[in-house]
């Protein structure tokens, strides 16, 4: 090991393949195949593959999750709502990670984090059932001390901080949101949690988030799928990973 090389992973990229499936489902075709996208993303530098099996199955279908699980070389991060159907399904698949997320049928995309405080007992039961199967559980929450503390109290070892509001704002509002995320990261790490982040991150807003030293992993999907239209899927993954790693190394 050289003194110039930091030890351990720099920062992980979880590539979210949901919107490859959105495109497929728009025409009811078999293409583009999210499984192929996942395997190519791994070859292009993804450290994991994230996919969200929504209750309305608007993008990822049960069959996608079932087909992908045995083929992944990295790890699957399955996003799921806190419903008995989803928890039972995840327990059958046994991905390395399950990220529990809030869901509204009418939302265009995930609005805000899971209310762990307000749904403590239901989230605790879901976490316990998943952990009994050896699954590492992450909670997708806002960078809010009460939500982070509730996660630690439940015993989930990972949080993913929702970066949607950071992504949707600019100027002073975005700067304030960034500070909130930084404080959340520090608080989470102080509570012994692995801290990930994601939602709405793209090629020109990811830098400030990737520079936060204690964030372990970013999950990014929509922007990579969109950029792939112009540069190709593997290049889009490579570019995002390169930006994240260069930013993190530059921030050290």
- Does 64 help bind ligand DXP (rule: CB under 6 A)? no
Q: Which of 43, 83, 109, 235 lies at the binding interface for ligand DXP (CB under 6 A)?
A: 109
Q: Which long-range contacts (CB under 8 A, 24 or more apart) does 219-222 make?
A: 219/14, 219/15, 219/16, 219/50, 219/77, 219/99, 219/160, 220/13, 220/14, 220/15, 220/16, 221/15, 221/16, 221/17, 221/18, 221/19, 221/50, 222/16, 222/18, 222/19, 222/109
Q: Which one from 103, 162, 199, 217 is the annotated catalytic residue?
A: 199
Q: Which residue lies nearer to ligand LD2JLWAY by CB, 39 or 114?
A: 114
Which residues carry a binding-site annotation? 16, 18-19, 27, 54, 59, 109, 200, 221-222
- Does 16 help bind ligand LD2JLWAY (rule: CB under 6 A)? yes
Q: Which residues between 199 and 238 bind ligand DXP (CB under 6 A)?
A: 199, 221
> Tokens standing for 116?
């762990």
In DSSP terms, 162 is beta-bridged to: 198
Q: Is 199 a catalytic residue?
A: yes
Q: Which does 248 bind (CB under 5 to 8 A by kind): ligand LD2JLWAY, ligand DXP, none?
A: none
Q: Which does 220 bind (CB under 5 to 8 A by kind): ligand DXP, ligand LD2JLWAY, none?
A: ligand LD2JLWAY
d(CA 198, CA 76): 16
Which residues carry a binding-site annotation for 3-amino-2-oxopropyl phosphate? 16, 27, 200, 221-222
Shortest reach from residue 130's CB to ligand LD2JLWAY, in Å: 17
Nearest to 95 by CA among 121, 111, 74, 115: 74
Contacts of 108 (CB under 8 A, 6+ apart): none
Q: Which does 196 bind (CB under 5 to 8 A by kind): ligand DXP, ligand LD2JLWAY, none?
A: none
- Does 199 help bind ligand LD2JLWAY (rule: CB under 6 A)? yes
d(CA 116, CA 110): 15
- Does 221 help bind ligand LD2JLWAY (rule: CB under 6 A)? yes
198-219 residues labelled b (16+ CB within 10 A) or e (exposed)? bbbbeeebbbbbbbbeebbbbb
Length reported for the chain: 252
- Does 163 help bind ligand DXP (rule: CB under 6 A)? no
CB 23 within 8 A of CB 60: no
Q: Is 227 a catalytic residue?
A: no
- Does 200 help bind ligand LD2JLWAY (rule: CB under 6 A)? yes
Residues near ligand LD2JLWAY (CB under 6 A) are: 16, 50, 160, 198-201, 219-223
Residues near ligand DXP (CB under 6 A) are: 16, 18, 52, 54, 79, 101, 109-110, 140, 199, 221
């Amino acid at each position: 090991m050289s003194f110039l090389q930091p030890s351990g992973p720099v920062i992980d990229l979880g590539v979210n393949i949901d919107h490859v499936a959105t495109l497929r489902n728009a025409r009811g075709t078999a293409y583009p195949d999210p499984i192929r996208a996942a395997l190519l993303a791994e070859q292009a530098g993804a450290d994991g593959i994230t996919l969200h099996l929504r209750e309305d199955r608007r993008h990822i279908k049960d069959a996608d999750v079932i087909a992908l699980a045995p083929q992944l070389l990295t790890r699957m991060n399955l996003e799921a709502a806190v419903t008995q159907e989803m928890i039972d399904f995840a327990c059958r698949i046994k991905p390395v990670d399950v990220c529990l997320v809030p869901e509204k049928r009418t939302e265009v995309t995930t609005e805000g984090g899971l209310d762990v405080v307000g749904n403590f007992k239901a989230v605790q039961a879901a976490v316990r059932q998943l952990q009994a199967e050896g699954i590492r559980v992450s909670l997708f929450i806002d960078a809010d001390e009460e939500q982070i503390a509730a996660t630690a109290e439940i015993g989930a070892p990972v949080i993913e901080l929702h970066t949607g509001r950071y992504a949707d704002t600019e100027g002073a509002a975005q700067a304030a949101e960034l500070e909130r995320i930084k404080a959340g990261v520090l608080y989470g790490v102080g509570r012994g949690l692995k801290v990930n982040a994601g939602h709405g991150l793209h090629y020109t807003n990811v830098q400030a988030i990737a520079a936060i030293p204690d964030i372990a992993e970013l999950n990014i999907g929509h922007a990579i799928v969109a950029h792939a239209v112009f540069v190709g899927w593997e290049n889009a993954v490579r570019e995002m990973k390169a930006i994240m790693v260069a930013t993190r190394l530059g921030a050290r």
